[in-house]
Amino acid sequence: MCGSSVAEKLKMVSVSKNTVKRRITDMSKDILDQVISEITQSKFKFALQLDESLDVSGYAQLLVYVRYVADTDVKEEFLFCEALSTTAKAKDIFEKVDAFFSASGLEWEQLLAVCTDGAPVMAGIRSGFLTLVKEKCPHVIKTHCMIHRQALAAKTLPASLNSVLNDIIKIVNYIRGNAVNHRIFQAFCEEVGSEFSILLYHTEIRWLSKGNVLERVAAMRMEIEVMLQQQQKNDLAEKFSNEKWVLSLLYLSDIFSKLNQLNRNLQGQFMTVIQANDQIVAFRTKLELWKRLLAKKNVPMFTQLQEHYQLSSSVPQTEFCDLMNQHLDALHGSFNNYFPPEVEGNAWVLNPFGMVGDVIQDEDLAAKSEFIDLQSDSVLKTQWGETTPSKFWISQFEVYPVLSKRALSVIVPFATTYRCESGFSTLVSIKTKSRNRLDVTHEKRCALSITSPRIDLLVTQKHCQLSH
């Protein structure tokens, strides 16, 4: 009797588990049906962003988002997540996307742009994913994620500053990487009333990691020095007595905090290529301003460095100013290399009524004529400030078709792979060590989609179990 009771309970658990899975699958399929319907009925082409990453079980998961015109606005939506069962080569990724297009009725000709992280498997010239896409869709716009480019551009460091950074990583690993040292340091910081009690780890694959580590070490440098002295790590403790080393630490903390702020400004949903490029242009202009101030030995832009000089009643030395200037020069050159001026003629998309001069060439007669008519329309001028650029251009699709299509071809492409990166963070919480065999295809769609499932419709498709 007891055995029978246990067996019945296990059966009920199994039924309940399968029922929940079926409900998730039903909702996922309904969401996908709505998204595909919106894409196919759209009056403009769509754009993709995609990336792949390993999950907890070692499988490469391909994550794809889509941006398209839906009714009166541009919409960003989760498209699909598929596991790459064997290799994660460009061919494998392309086959997954192509198979999804075929199953969903999407046409390659309707693809406007693709944004990837710029890895060789994605952007390789000879056999990368984008090269395979180009064979299917020659007109497609290729975009290298601007956040990844910013992270690559920020890696430029002179040898002396890179040496200081390596010292900082050694110090953090010595304290944070040893459980006993970590506990001792934490107790000491709490005892003396420090603002922080733990150090942060540095990892290359996290965009903000380096800046966060430097800020924390700079803020806790007094406590760290005492800790190292108590542990008789004189070779590391002596670093904090070296004025040039401390100045380098403070400068690195300041400059990477600004790089982190730029990185955060590039993150977020509905970021257009123009908006992202504006952030890069602004940062490059700031670099030039900082170089001019450094030439006068002024460092108000580097707050921690400035505070240190004020407390020590000293002034920046020429040698250290030259070192900072060398780094800013290298940064400026690196940003110019990774961010060539590629969208400088499209500012009119975000403000057509504030533009003066020939933003569209006379030879482009159809677009030029429509632009003249648009700027002369007093009614549209009043409407411009009451809506978003995307809604405005969609509303003018019938009246100014050439201009609207051109504007949407700038607005619709993704500037970054931010949505994919945030999607991978959600994947970590869904597919854990205790659920490492889970197929997350439908779970991911329910978790990440903006579109809501049509519950009332799904309910009508189910039959009551009259036996209960």
Domain spans of the chain?
24-145+417-460, 152-338, 347-410
pLDDT band at 1 (very low <50, low <70, confident <90, very high): very low
* Alpha carbon 181 to chain centroid, angstroms: 35
The answer to whether residues 59 and 85 touch, using CB atoms and an 8 Å cutoff, is: yes
What's the whole-model pTM score? 0.88
Residues forming beta bridges with residue 60, ordered by sequence position: 54, 84
Lowest mean pLDDT among 117-126, 323-332, 419-428: 117-126
- pLDDT tens digit string along 178-216? 899 889 989 989 988 888 888 887 665 566 778 888 999
Q: How many Å apart are CA 460 and CA 467, to the nearest integer?
A: 19
Q: How many Å apart are CA 167 and CA 159, to the nearest integer?
A: 12
Residue 301's pLDDT is 94
Residues forming beta bridges with residue 75, ordered by sequence position: 68
Q: How many Å apart are CA 50 and CA 215, to the nearest integer?
A: 32
Query: Which are the contacts of 61, defined by CB distance < 8 A and separation ≥ 6?
Result: 52, 53, 54, 55, 81, 82, 83, 84, 424, 427, 440
C-alpha distances in Å from residue 132, one per residue of 41, 136, 390: 26, 7, 30
The answer to whether residues 354 and 348 touch, using CB atoms and an 8 Å cutoff, is: no
Q: Is the CATH number of domain 24-145+417-460 3.30.420.40?
A: yes
Q: What is the mean pLDDT of the chain?
A: 88
Lowest mean pLDDT among 12-16, 83-87, 247-251, 304-308: 12-16
Residue 256's pLDDT is 93
Inform me whether the pLDDT recorded for 346 exceeds 90: no
The answer to whether residues 129 and 111 touch, using CB atoms and an 8 Å cutoff, is: no
Q: How many Å apart are CA 359 and CA 347, to the nearest integer?
A: 8
Q: How many Å apart are CA 109 and CA 140, to the nearest integer?
A: 9
| Segment 13-23 mean pLDDT | 73
User: Secondary structure of the chain: what % helix, strand, coil (to 5)?
Assistant: 60, 10, 30
- pLDDT tens digit string along 262-320? 999 999 999 999 999 999 999 999 999 999 999 999 999 999 999 999 988 888 888 99
- DSSP three-state, residue 247: helix
Q: How many Å apart are CA 151 and CA 331, to the nearest integer?
A: 11
